Amino acid sequence: MKVVKFGGSSLASAQQFQKVGKIITDDSDRRIVIVSAPGKRYDDDIKMTDLLISLAKSVTEETYNPRSLQLVMDRYEEIISELNLDKSLVETIRDGLIDLIEEYQQDEDRLMDALKASGENNNAKVMAAYLSSLGMEASYVSPKEAGMVVTNEPGNARILPEAYEKIASLRDREGILVIPGFFGYSKQGHIVTFPRGGSDITGSIIAAGVEADEYENFTDVDSIYSVNPNLVNNPREIKELTYREMRELAYSGFSVFHDEALQPVVSKGVPVCVKNTNHPEAPGTRIVGSRTVNGYPVVGIASDKGFCSINITKYLMNREVGFGRHLLEILEDEHISYEHTPSGIDNMSVIVRENQLENGNEEKILQRIRNELLVDDVQVEKDLAMVMVVGEGMAKTVGIASKATTALMEAGINIKMINQGSSEVSMMFGVDADQVDQAVTSLYHAFF
């Protein structure tokens, strides 16, 4: 049994619904379908979710009028009409939205959450109707019915452990189940949405809960690529990737979906397959617990800008028990999360995202480091970028570091930092932000 999730671009129009219909027809293992809200049909289009956010705001700001609601309804009406579905569905959706507005108009947060969630919810109803119209046995299953019991934190719901028992029983249901992504219900019965990547989270929870053979994640790219396609023409497609390789590649250029969402399937060992709704015959990228390395030791190269390094020196630092702990405590206290902490004998650096030091707290943090740790010097080095070279085959291949550093040298890149060894599957290079694209392409050409 497969759990299949379709993203917003896969459900943006009647034409996209038809592609999805064909995908589901083509494989009888595709038994549970998770849907997002309709996405953009073209570059300047407005996503359903954004229309719903505007609608919710118009209610709380008391500028609500029938036009705000009609903008939302237009999208559904177009899809329903082009798919030749029963027009009564339009009225069901409209009545449902009006009910939500009335129920929650006094509670800004709940209204926002409920209206945002309606984008997925109504799309699931449309999808169930469409699949039925194709002759399949398909039914809409609300998250409540599916067992999606979540914490009561609007916009930041987390699944409750007890949810999994009921979710597991979905295996026993007949036909195709269409479940809206992005939200669950609190114990009190309220609609509560997940954080960013919400439909992926629903799909991952359901796939883990029913112990699916595969979690298929349909989006609008053929596969995950070895490198950001904006940097290299026709980069190598990744056929298979381990969970940990995916995590090490989590920097930009690999944001096909939100990796935090995958925690449930990772913990159950359910393989994930990233596929393209517009090109479903492409094999896509499978993300698995372990894989056989054949050929390339490196699977991908990712990078990200916007880092800085807080560099600290103090004579005899390495003899000072508790120094590193105290430093990390100061950062935690100031709500700074860090990426890496390379250290020498008398020095230690902390790599953090630059935007964390932008609210005028940089001087305060440096002052605390000076005063509490009595350091000889502390400096902030800005405009750094990180490059990750990732692959399960790296640990067992001699000469990876040599190949990488030689490629960077030949491209004239000044390596500011190297961090290798904690992870068996990655090697990190710190470079100047303005050299990072060059660094990535030179590494790509060295390894592929």
Instruction: Give the Cα separation of 243 and 268 in Å (integer).
Output: 12
> Binding of a second copy at residue 409 (CB under 8 A)?
yes
> Binding of a second copy at residue 306 (CB under 8 A)?
no
> Which two three-digit tokens encode residue 157?
């719901």
Q: Are 242 and 288 in contact (CB under 8 A)?
A: yes
> Binding of a second copy at residue 266 (CB under 8 A)?
yes
**Chain-centroid distance, C-alpha 70:** 31
Give the range of 12-20, 61-69, 145-153, 326-334 binding a second copy by CB under 8 A.
Answer: 326-334
> Binding of a second copy at residue 332 (CB under 8 A)?
yes
Minimum gap (Å) between residue 339 Cβ and a second copy:
7
> Binding of a second copy at residue 32 (CB under 8 A)?
no
Give the range of 83-91, 281-289, 335-343, 432-440 binding a second copy by CB under 8 A.
Answer: 335-343
Q: How many CB atoms lie within 10 A of CB 393?
A: 18
Instruction: Give the Cα separation of 254 and 249 in Å (integer).
Output: 6
> Binding of a second copy at residue 325 (CB under 8 A)?
yes
Rule CB under 8 A: choose which of 260, 268, 370, 380 binds a second copy: 260
Rule CB under 8 A: choose which of 93, 408, 436, 443 binds a second copy: 408
Q: Are 350 and 310 in contact (CB under 8 A)?
A: yes
Closer CB to a second copy, 188 or 402, in the complex: 402
Alpha-carbon separation of residue 433 from 45, 230, 354, 428 (angstroms): 32, 16, 12, 14
> Binding of a second copy at residue 3 (CB under 8 A)?
no
> Binding of a second copy at residue 156 (CB under 8 A)?
no
> Binding of a second copy at residue 304 (CB under 8 A)?
no
**321: helix, strand or coil:** coil
β-pairing verdict for 377-390 and 426-432: antiparallel
Rule CB under 8 A: choose which of 41, 418, 438, 448 binds a second copy: 418
- Residue 196, H or E segment: none
Rule CB under 8 A: choose which of 67, 322, 360, 374 binds a second copy: 322
> Binding of a second copy at residue 380 (CB under 8 A)?
no
Minimum gap (Å) between residue 348 Cβ and a second copy:
6
Amino acid at 175: G
Using CB under 8 A as the criterion, what x/- string covers residues 37-76 for binding a second copy?
A: ----------------------------------------
> Binding of a second copy at residue 423 (CB under 8 A)?
yes
> Binding of a second copy at residue 374 (CB under 8 A)?
no
Instruction: Give the Cα separation of 217 and 170 in Å (integer).
Output: 19
Q: Are 217 and 273 in contact (CB under 8 A)?
A: yes
Minimum gap (Å) between residue 105 Cβ and a second copy:
35
Q: Supply angle C-alpha 393, 420, 257, rounded to 5.
A: 65
Give the range of 77-85, 124-132, 261-269, 435-443 binding a second copy by CB under 8 A.
Answer: 261-269
> Binding of a second copy at residue 354 (CB under 8 A)?
no
Helix axes 14-26 and 108-133, enclosed angle (nearest 10): 60
What length does the chain have? 448
Q: Are 139 and 178 in contact (CB under 8 A)?
A: yes
Instruction: Give the Cα separation of 161 and 148 in Å (integer).
Output: 10
Instruction: Give the Cα separation of 24 and 275 in Å (integer).
Output: 13
Minimum gap (Å) between residue 287 Cβ and a second copy:
13
> Binding of a second copy at residue 204 (CB under 8 A)?
no
Q: Are 181 and 221 in contact (CB under 8 A)?
A: no
Residues that bind a second copy (CB under 8 A): 243-244, 247-248, 250, 259-260, 263, 266-267, 309, 311, 313, 315-316, 318-319, 321-322, 324-325, 328-329, 332, 337-349, 398-399, 401-402, 404-406, 408-409, 412, 414-423, 425-428, 430
